[in-house]
Amino acid sequence: MRDRAANGCLDSGADRDLAQEEIPHLTGAIEERLAVRLLQRSTRSVSVTEVGAAFFTHCESMAASAKSAFEVAEQANAKPSGRLRVSCPIVSQLPFHACEEALRSNRLVALLPDHKLPDHQLHAVYPTRRGMVPAVKAFVGMLATTLPRTMARAKREFHETVVQARARRG
């Protein structure tokens, strides 16, 4: 709008889906609200005042920032990203993958090999479902589909390793 006003016309509404007759009214309303003259009008031309030039520069900056903000929000829905922290309340039990080699080599011994651990529960805690980040949705969905199979396989492998280690010890 500033460039077109400097050229003596106010038809920038075409770029913003505004009717050409709305531009002077909107500009006048802004000038009235701010109590300053943004455009100097005469019967033959329109020019931007010094205050108007500074004002339009800031408006362009705000419009660019708003556009960037919308792009960030739109990209957040594009693909899961970011850090997701998960904790497990059971601390007295080593995960099988962390002790498998030591169990197989007899550096660790299962103290209660016949003891069956209770089924694990995993809770995915998040503040609200409304506005849930796609990364959290994807992670919870992945847990729901893969964790039961993974836990069953790990349990099977653990018991097989304990039985093999017991057989080696004789």
- Which alpha helices (H) appear in the chain, and where do they start and end? 2-6, 22-34, 50-76, 96-104, 134-169
Structure confidence by residue, pLDDT tens digits, 100-130: 788 888 888 777 677 666 666 666 666 666 7
Confidence of residue 21 (pLDDT cuts 50, 70, 90): confident
Using the Cα atoms of residue 76, residue 77, residue 81 and residue 84 in order, give the sign of their dihedral: positive
pTM of this structure = 0.36
Which domains can be identified in the chain, with CATH numbers? 2-76 (1.10.10.10), 96-169 (no CATH)
14 in Cβ contact with 64 (< 8 Å) = no
Of 42-46, 146-150, 163-167, least confident by mean pLDDT is 163-167
pLDDT tens for residues 30-54? Answer: 889 889 998 888 888 888 889 988 9
Q: How confident is the model at residue 12 (pLDDT cuts 50, 70, 90)?
A: very low
CA distance 136 to 81: 9
**What is the C-alpha separation between 24 and 30, in angstroms, rounded?**
10
